[in-house]
Chain A
Amino acid sequence: MWRFVLRRLLQMVPVLIGTTFLIYVAVFALPGDPIRALGGDKPMPPSVYEALRHHYHLDEPLITQYGRYLLGLARGDFGETLNGQSVASLMATGWTVTVQLALTAWIFELVVGIALGVLAGLRKGGIIDSLVLSGTTFIIAIPAFVLAYSAQLIFGLKLGWFPTAGTDDGWPYSYLLPGVILGSLSLAYIARLTRTSLVENMRADYVRTALAKGLPRRRIILRHTLRNSLIPVVTYLGVDLGNLLAGAIVIEGIFNLPGIGQQIFQAVQIKDGPTVVGISTFLVLIFLLANLVVDILYGALDPRIRYE
């Protein structure tokens, strides 16, 4: 087990190097000149231009720049943005916002999604089941930004229940509306996955055995059926944590939350390499860690899984 974890952690190193390199190249290949953009409308004296290019090592070949970046990373230095701020401190503020948003969405989809799926699955073909099936189809069919603007209009402006933008009210109040919107798509998938898995497991032979043992229905569902049904759901939830962080970009824009989504969007526009690579690397890292946690949880839930 620990060997497995260690091996997986070691495997992350080449993946991280590979992804950072790809992103570095992608930013390098972006059209436009970031230093000239710094000057805005005003022409920049050639000496200043050259000095800045040298300061950000943009006059060196790509490989040297990348090597320098990796060396910095190894020392825990994420570099600095084009306006002289440290990328590490920029990310600290951005990640705080995004993590709060993603966690709100995640808790929402976990609790409500599983609850709806269980209610629907227990009475397959019943009223709740029909409502859940049609409701989730509806959510899956509608683009997230349409949901977001509608929610802002109805619950923010017309009813005035929630703030429509910014983080002034702190967690959780400011994050409720964007969190629910962000989590709604996955909620639909989780509800459906839970339902299908539960319905399938209720027909399983071991449930018939549990019945033959004379166990109460409640115990059969909680200890036997549900335990087995939730294995695929847990897998989905783990991987989805990474998706939520990445998917936050659109929602952060709409609700004007100063998270990493906003930052990476602006950084790409001004061709700010260190910021883009720093944030992306973190995203990749979180994704890899989430996958590892899922694999470990999977083994805890299903004893048939063995690590080697």
Chain B
Amino acid sequence: MTNTTDPAPGTPLLQVEDLRVEFRMRGSTVNAVNGLSYTLAEGETLAILGESGSGKSVSAQAVMGILDTPPAYVTGGAVRFRGTELLGLPEKKRRTYRGAHIAMIFQDALSALNPVHRVGDQIAEMLLVHRGMSRGDARKRAIELMERVRIPSAGSRANDYPHQFSGGMRQRVMIAMALALEPDVLIADEPTTALDVTVQAQIMKLLRDLQDEMAMGLILITHDLGVVADVADRIVVMYAGRVVEQAEVRELYARPAHPYTEGLLASVPRVDVRDRALTPIKGSPPNLAAIPSGCPFHPRCPRAREERCPDEVPALRDVTGTGHGSACHYAEEVLGG
């Protein structure tokens, strides 16, 4: 069920190119996303990793076309779904992509679900609106979807309201809703951050299973390196609204090529290495209204050098010849350890 023309072979499922988003506040402009580029292949899981304020959620909302405008504006770039540019589309057309081709789930499922509607109705609404299903059929399908995300006694729970569910079950409801139209891309914005660790693992496993069954592309936005490791194929690391490093998961963990990634890895406890001292990254994330000149990470970077880092913005470049990208002037040095 695609209403796009068949894309040329080799066209990525989703391509984001030089995306720019700014927030126009009274008196100041906050540059949340500054030339973000990445691609997502069919069936691939891409993790977007970054601290709060790195622009990961904002860029996802820009891809969905659900930014709060004002104050947020997309000021440049491209978002292509199977070759079709989405950014210029009139809202009427754009809307048909949301939910049907690209779906999204959010961090806090309690506030993301409407408190006054039954969860079954909220799921069925997707089918009523996009597919023109009858109420009865949509309801039946909603219950099937709830079973598919393994909500026990789905038939009766469909009549419950969001506040009557536990956190994990609520996130399952969100997932059932997002998958109602069998989208090609699912964007999960910190889907497990608000949950207990055991529930986190269940939800991640569910997402992975569903992705396998449905062969969809998954974008997993997170700040948690632990969540990423088992699930993702590839990782994009964001800093100050840009990609600073991207690589296959194993490659990135084994051989980080950007001092920021290096710092992130050094600041996470590991069960396999005992008595390792944790090293935090010094300083704090940049103020997006006044991003440092040159490499935005240089004020916090242990490897920064006076001669290039404060003045010259490093471009993202392939540093291994195998698609491992790093936006550091001295990436080779970082790779060397």
Contact = CB atoms under 8 A, between A and B. Distances in A.
Interface string A225-253: 00110000000000000000000000000
A224 B114 CA distance: 7
Given A213-B125, A215-B129, A302 B96 contact: no
Nearest to B123: A213
A214 B161 contact: no
A208 B114 contact: no
Interface stretch (B104-112, B225-233, B299-307): B104-112
A212 B161 contact: no
A208 B125 CA distance: 15
Range of interface residues on A (Cβ < 8 Å): 20 to 34
B161 A208 contact: no
Contacts of B68: 203
B55 interface: no
Contact of A208 (B66, B96, B99): B66
B100 A303 contact: no
A204 to B, nearest CB: 7
Contact of B129 (A211, A219, A302): A219
Contacts of A301: 116
**What size tier do the contact residues of chain B reach?**
20 to 34
B163 A304 contact: yes
Contact of A214 (B61, B100, B112): B100
A206 interface: yes
B125 A303 contact: no
Contacts of B108: 205
A31 interface: no
Contacts of A205: 106, 108, 111-112
B98 interface: yes
Contacts of B61: 208
A206 B95 contact: no
Given A203-B68, A205-B106, A304-B163, A212 B99 contact: yes
A216 interface: yes
A209 interface: yes
B125 A215 contact: yes
Contacts of A52: none
Nearest to A219: B129
Q: Which of B61, B100, B125, B161 has the most CB of A within 10 A?
A: B125
B114 A228 contact: yes
Contacts of A219: 129
Contacts of B106: 205, 208-209
Nearest to B161: A303
Contacts of B116: 227-228, 301-303
Given A212-B104, A216-B95, A304 B161 contact: yes
Contacts of B103: 212
A215 B96 CA distance: 8
B64 A210 contact: no
B36 interface: no
10 contacts: A205-B112, A206-B115, A211-B64, A212-B66, A212-B98, A212-B103, A213-B126, A214-B96, A216-B95, A227-B116
4 closest cross-chain pairs (CB), A and B: A214-B98, A214-B99, A205-B111, A211-B66
Given A204-B111, A212-B66, 7 more contacts: A206-B114, A209-B114, A214-B98, A215-B129, A224-B114, A227-B117, A303-B116
